[in-house]
Amino acid sequence: MSTTPVQPSLPRYPISDLYLFANYADRAAYLAAAATQAPPFNPALPIKGWADPAPNGQPYLVFDDASGQALELSVPAAAAAALNLPGTYNYPAYVETSTAAQIVGPYGPISQVAANEVCLQSDAQAVANAIEPLYPGEAVMVADGSFIGIYHTVYGTDPRRQWIIEVAGVSLGWAQAWIEAQNAHGVGAPGHWALAPIPGDAVSTPFLQWIQDPQVTAAPADACTAPVPIRPLLPNEEFILVEPADPLFGTAQWMVRRTDMAPAITLVQVEQLVAQYNAQPGVIAIQLK
């Protein structure tokens, strides 16, 4: 969630103390904090561990490690509101919804309508639109497959109907059955429609199928990471590059320094000062205990 960071009462503190939003290192960290999954990873977008709950398209102030300065970064509102963390997304299982619809004859109900026969017309049309490019020059239609006449379908309060998909007037079956095939590996799992032979089919006749695509879970080698927005520096703050205590085992790090507070001296710095003092001729050596 969005925060207004409080200025630490310290001489120096990390840039992360200026962050406006929580920044999650990975999907596990977000799951532990939010008790829900981060959205599926999109490898075409920067890695992004923060989310603005109320973006309005405004530019964000971010810290640029290369220049040691704060810069403005434009992020579209939709991108600002979403996390994008590598890793596996567990797509929820598709749950089939039963129906009270019945096939009725002259003497009353004959049979219950199966759950994989009914869906909303809009959902059936979405399937028709998706497979239409596979049938160039042929009419792909959604048709009402309800029983009509002496034996007819009674739906009651169920808004769904027995829609079927037709290609050039030939039925491909219940639209709901295709919807369930599309979600066989989880709701929203990646995949695509294709005309392909059924595995093991000696005739190699192409049939309409939903082909599962592998989930991309790893970031590409050249992936960049979206910097976390920060608050502006206060009048008594500045960015400084802090050298490591031991140059052999560390690297310089950008931090924020309060100009109204003297930095605390470290033990290493004390030892260095003592060594410099003791190296002067004619002084009484000091020993640290």
Q: How far apart are CA 272 and CA 278, in angstroms?
A: 10
Amino acid at 149: G
pTM of the full predicted structure?
A: 0.76
> pLDDT digit of tens for each residue in the chain (289 aa)?
556 789 999 999 999 999 999 999 999 999 999 999 999 999 999 999 999 999 998 899 999 999 999 999 999 999 999 999 999 999 999 999 999 999 999 999 999 999 999 999 999 999 999 999 999 999 999 999 999 999 999 999 999 999 999 999 999 999 999 999 999 999 999 999 999 887 766 666 889 999 999 999 999 999 999 999 999 999 999 999 998 877 778 889 999 999 998 766 665 666 666 676 677 666 566 665 5
Task: Transcribe 123-184 into DSSP letters.
Answer: HHHHHHHHHGGGSTTS-EEEEE----SSSEEE-TT---B-EEEEETTEEEEEHHHHHHHHTT
The C-alpha R_g of the chain, in whole angstroms, comes to: 32
pLDDT at 93: 97
Q: Backbone phi, then psi, for 207, in 5-degree steps?
A: -125, 155
* Domain ranges, ordered by start, for the chain: 12-90+218-264, 102-185
Give me the pLDDT at residue 156, please: 94
The pLDDT value given to residue 197 = 84
CA angle 198, 201, 203 (to 5 degrees): 120
CB 83 within 8 A of CB 30: yes
Q: Is the dihedral of CA 165, 168, 169, 173 positive or negative?
A: negative
Q: Where are the beta strands (DSSP E) in the chain?
A: 12-14, 60-64, 69-73, 102-105, 108-112, 140-144, 152-154, 163-167, 170-174, 191-197, 206-212, 237-242, 253-258
Distance CA 8, CA 2 (A): 18
pLDDT at site 247: 75
pLDDT at position 248 is 77
